[in-house]
Amino acid sequence: MKILITITIKLAALILVVLFFSNCHFKKQTTNQQANKKPNIIFIMTDDHALNAISSYGNSVNQTPNIDRIAEEGIRFDQSFCTNSICAPSRAVMLTGKYSHINGHINNSLSFDGSQQTFPKILQENNYQTALIGKWHLKSEPTGFDYWTILPGQGSYYNPDFIEMGEKTRHQGYVTELITEKTINWLEKRDTTKPFCLLMHHKAPHRTWMPNMDKLNSFDSVEIPLPPTFFDDYTNRSTAAKDQKMSIWKDMYLGYDLKLTKNEHSTEIIEDLRNWEFERMTTEQRNKWDKAYRAKNKQYHHNPPKGKDLARWKYQRYMQDYLSTIESVDESVGQILDYLDKNQLAENTIIVYTSDQGFYLGEHGWFDKRFMYEESHKMPLIIRYPKEIQSGRISNDMVLNLDFAATFLDYAGIAIPADIQGESLRPLLKGETPTSWREEVYYHYYEYPKGGHDVKRHYGIRTHDFKLIHYYYDIDEWELFDLINDPQELHNLYNNPNYQNTVQKLKIKLQEIREKYKDNNQDAYLPKLSIKTIHHKALGAKTLLTFPYSSKYPAGGITALTDGRVSINDLSQINDRSMWQGYEEADLLATIDLKDTISIKTITVGFLHNTDAWIFSPDWVKFSISNQANKFDSVITIERPISIKSKSEQKIFYTADLQGLKARYIHIHAKNIAQCPTWHKGAENKAWLFTDEIIVY
């Protein structure tokens, strides 16, 4: 009996030992499986979210507790930059890991080539589920995604349309909330056996900064401090800084941007605010909107500000709307973080918060982006991944939106293709900065003269201490800034004798980095004009102008109106204004000397009509002729043949039939409307008259 009990005890002990080691082995296997499990990726990108509107970055008057939470539980990059500060190109760089000139998307007017390599495609090919929800803005249909639902173009804030896998439908609600709802719905329905990569792209806070209905008055009682450089006069800066059209004071529209109603006795919105947003509103939404803005608009009309006071008023209204719009974005981030916690996904999910570029919140008196100056060159970047990122870290390593593709592929355990130009951020996220990590970043902006805001083409290099910028195309100017002693970039040191050694060193580095990224030919991506030369009786004739043309739009100088150079397709050249001679507020008063008295059959002069660009065809054109330079006989006056409110871009020809009258001198008077009409978004601002060739047969 004792022998049996002893054997039983020994057998039980042996079983326990086997179970113990088996359990240890199982736990080890489980731990290894968890450690080797590929991470999920949630990439949250907003549009035009400035660092100074995120409280984690320390300079904001608003609070963003949910975005801050990512930083508190992860890492915040203080030296994060874009390669081309404009919406669509920035998104193309993010997708491909390649500079704009390589991925082919240098400006907003192009359609993204979806056949090329992107990181979502590579992830998809390696068993990742991929999804895109929200703003796309690349014109072509998304590729590389198992599921996508996107906003058409810029999208709408209220009751927006979504294109879901090719099918367009309208959805009731506010765009930020709808994107969040669609994101969570996709997370709920995904295949839980696979890792996922989800791109959640918000429209907000893009212009025109339309807050959700419950936030329309969030910042009405907040006095937002003016940036120190708000009244910058751009002394000792480039022509580019002086010629831009990004001024809050001069270029921001009272109606379209700042929601000012027509007068204190009416809630009717002036015409430039009658856009798709208001047309999409329900009656209930519109009533809430009118109620929110009625009182403060009435206050404006009671004592309209002028001069610098108007600039200050515009700034306050702009920032109130901008920051109110961001409140909904921060709430959205909170909902996503809560979902990850609730569903035990937080530990194995990389979550990124960023924007497509930076944005001006009154610095230098501006809104918008485009420049290589700090406020638009820098972009927010905050990342959380508990497995590898120690909480509460701040990095001063120089990183780019070029790096996202390589980073995500690295974490997915996929070899990074050799043609990707970015670097994986994984070592930095682990706190291990490689000794070979970059000490400078390269930037190139192309969208001129296309697009808006008249920011010149430029490229440059930024180190930790200095920034060198070259403006080209229709100017050739340089800027150098000492970022340590002049962080606001107010003093151009390019011609300062004490900095010539720095200039030469940076130019060498700039050339090297351009060669590294295969962007060493600045003329390769210039607009290509289609021009023909026509022969007519006034070709090469001397022209006398009563009012000077704008130095910004000379079209080749004093001989431009009789040089015979005409674009083959006039409308294709509208955004490239080098073919047009521009007159700001002034009439065209031109006297043409034909040198000899000749028989004239017709005189034709063409004008551009493009109200979106504040360019109006003349009210009328008066044709006169003479055999003496100072005494003219009027032949005919031709009034504008289209409605002044016509929104289509077109070239309007004014032709006088002289039926063989003889003359040596021709006088043309084209009447500029001088100021944009009250119904126009630029009401009371200077109107432009753009003209091309004067053709005489």
Residue 507 lies in a domain: no
Contacts of 24 by beta carbon, 8 Å cutoff, 6+ apart = none
Which of 409, 431, 453 is the last residue before a domain boundary? 431
Identify the three-state secondary structure at position 636. strand
Query: How do strand 129-135 and strand 147-151 relate by DSSP bridges?
Result: parallel
Q: Is the dihedral of CA 508, 509, 510, 515 positive or negative?
A: positive
Taking the C-alpha atoms of residue 565 and residue 3, their distance in angstroms, rounded to an integer, is: 115
pLDDT for 265: 59
Residue 145 lies in a domain: yes
Is 0.75 topped by the overall pTM? yes
pLDDT for 577: 60
Burial of 573 by CB count in 10 Å (0-12 exposed, 13-18 middle, 19+ buried)? buried
- Residue among 240, 224, 220, 247 nearest 52 (CA): 224
Taking the C-alpha atoms of residue 297 and residue 241, their distance in angstroms, rounded to an integer, is: 32
Taking the C-alpha atoms of residue 686 and residue 193, their distance in angstroms, rounded to an integer, is: 62
How much is the average pLDDT of 360-386?
A: 98
* Number of neighbours of residue 666 by Cβ within 10 angstroms: 27
How much is the average pLDDT of 615-631?
A: 91
DSSP tag of 141: P
Residue type, 59: N
Residue type, 96: T
Give the CA-trace dihedral at 246, 248, 254, 259, to 10 degrees: 100
Query: How do strand 466-471 and strand 542-545 relate by DSSP bridges?
Result: unpaired
pLDDT for 511: 97
Residue type, 686: K
Residue 598 lies in a domain: yes
Whether the pLDDT of residue 655 is over 50: the answer is yes
Place of tokens 């028989």: 599
Note if the bond before 208 is cis, omega within 30 degrees. yes
Residues 347 and 308 in one domain: no
Whether the pLDDT of residue 677 is over 50: the answer is yes
Whether the pLDDT of residue 378 is over 70: the answer is yes
Whether the pLDDT of residue 494 is over 50: the answer is yes
Whether the pLDDT of residue 648 is over 60: the answer is yes
Residue 523 lies in a domain: no
pLDDT for 19: 47
pLDDT for 662: 94
Residues 651 and 542 in one domain: yes
Q: What percentage of the chain exceeds 70 in pLDDT?
A: 91
Dig out the tokens for 218 from the structure: 């969030």
Dig out the tokens for 445 from the structure: 């902006």
Whether the pLDDT of residue 676 is over 80: the answer is yes
Q: pLDDT for 1-26, tens place per residue?
A: 444 444 444 545 544 444 444 454 44
Residues 560 and 604 in one domain: yes
DSSP tag of 37: S
Segment holding 153, helix H or strand E? none
Query: How do strand 147-151 and strand 261-263 relate by DSSP bridges?
Result: unpaired
Residues 76 and 203 in one domain: yes
Whether the pLDDT of residue 636 is over 50: the answer is yes
Span between the terminal Cα atoms of the chain, in Å: 131
Which of 373, 405, 431 is the last residue before a domain boundary? 431
Give how far Cα 356 sits from Cα of 137, 375, 411, 483, 501, Å.
Answer: 11, 13, 22, 23, 35
Place of tokens 């810029």: 154
pLDDT for 524: 87
3-state helix, strand, coil in the chain (%, to 5): 30, 25, 45
Give how far Cα 550 sits from Cα of 236, 299, 457, 669, Å.
Answer: 22, 38, 19, 17
Contact at 8 Å (CB) between 411 and 41? yes
Higher pLDDT, 550 or 330: 330
Residues 221 and 205 in one domain: no
Residues 207 and 93 in one domain: yes
Q: pLDDT for 51-92, tens place per residue?
A: 999 999 998 899 999 999 999 999 999 999 999 999 999 999
pLDDT for 527: 77
Q: Where are the beta strands (DSSP E) in 112-271?
A: 129-135, 147-151, 161-164, 167-170, 196-201, 261-263, 266-269
Residue 621 lies in a domain: yes
* Number of neighbours of residue 126 by Cβ within 10 angstroms: 14
Residues 146 and 270 in one domain: no
How much is the average pLDDT of 191-209?
A: 97
Residues 149 and 251 in one domain: no
Dig out the tokens for 263 from the structure: 């007068």
Taking the C-alpha atoms of residue 429 and residue 440, their distance in angstroms, rounded to an integer, is: 19
Identify the three-state secondary structure at position 236. coil
Q: pLDDT for 555-573, tens place per residue?
A: 888 888 998 887 654 443 4
Q: Which of 135-144, 325-334, 606-615 has the lowest mean pLDDT?
A: 606-615
Q: What percentage of the chain exceeds 90 in pLDDT?
A: 76
Phi, psi of 567 (to 5 degrees): -70, 140
Give how far Cα 395 sits from Cα of 79, 351, 358, Å.
Answer: 7, 17, 18
Contact at 8 Å (CB) between 444 and 107? no
DSSP state letters, 647-672: -S-EEEEEEEEEEEEEEEEEEEEE--
Contact at 8 Å (CB) between 400 and 284? no
Phi, psi of 182 (to 5 degrees): -65, -35
Q: What angle do CA 281, 321, 401 make, to 5 degrees?
A: 105
Residues 357 and 228 in one domain: no
pLDDT for 385: 98
Residue type, 22: S
pLDDT for 474: 84
Angle between helix 87-96 and 404-411 (nearest 10): 30
Q: pLDDT for 501-537, tens place per residue?
A: 999 999 999 999 999 999 998 888 887 766 678 899 9
Q: Is the dihedral of CA 263, 276, 449, 379 positive or negative?
A: positive
Taking the C-alpha atoms of residue 64 and residue 53, their distance in angstroms, rounded to an integer, is: 8
Domain containing 680 — which CATH number? 2.60.120.260
pLDDT for 522: 84
Structural domains counted in the chain: 3
pLDDT for 269: 44
- Domain range spanning residue 85? 67-211+325-431
DSSP state letters, 166-177: TEEEE--SBHHH
DSSP state letters, 452-520: STTPPPEEEEEESSEEEEEE-SS--EEEEEETTT-TT-----TT-GGGHHHHHHHHHHHHHHHHHTT--
Identify the three-state secondary structure at position 154. coil
Residues 77 and 186 in one domain: yes
Rg (CA), the chain: 31
Residues 228 and 178 in one domain: no
Residue 61 lies in a domain: no
Whether the pLDDT of residue 437 is over 90: the answer is yes
Q: Mean pLDDT of all residues in the chain?
A: 90
Higher pLDDT, 579 or 139: 139
How much is the average pLDDT of 378-404?
A: 98
Residues 196 and 294 in one domain: no
pLDDT for 534: 86
Taking the C-alpha atoms of residue 121 and residue 509, their distance in angstroms, rounded to an integer, is: 34
Identify the three-state secondary structure at position 187. helix
How much is the average pLDDT of 451-458?
A: 89
Note if the bond before 142 is cis, omega within 30 degrees. no
3-state secondary structure 203-230: CCCCCCCCCCHHHCCCCCCCCCCCCCCC
Query: How do strand 620-628 and strand 631-639 relate by DSSP bridges?
Result: antiparallel
pLDDT for 27: 38
Residue 593 lies in a domain: yes
Which of 431, 450, 468 is the last residue before a domain boundary? 431
- Residue among 442, 580, 447 nearest 512 (CA): 442
Q: pLDDT for 108-164, tens place per residue?
A: 989 999 999 999 999 999 999 999 999 999 999 999 999 999 999 999 999 999 999
pLDDT for 17: 45
Query: How do strand 80-81 and strand 399-400 relate by DSSP bridges?
Result: parallel
Taking the C-alpha atoms of residue 281 and residue 297, their distance in angstroms, rounded to an integer, is: 20
Angle between helix 307-342 and 65-72 (nearest 10): 60
Contact at 8 Å (CB) between 357 and 87? yes
Contacts of 500 by beta carbon, 8 Å cutoff, 6+ apart = none
Q: Which of 41-45, 133-137, 523-527, 604-608 has the lowest mean pLDDT?
A: 523-527
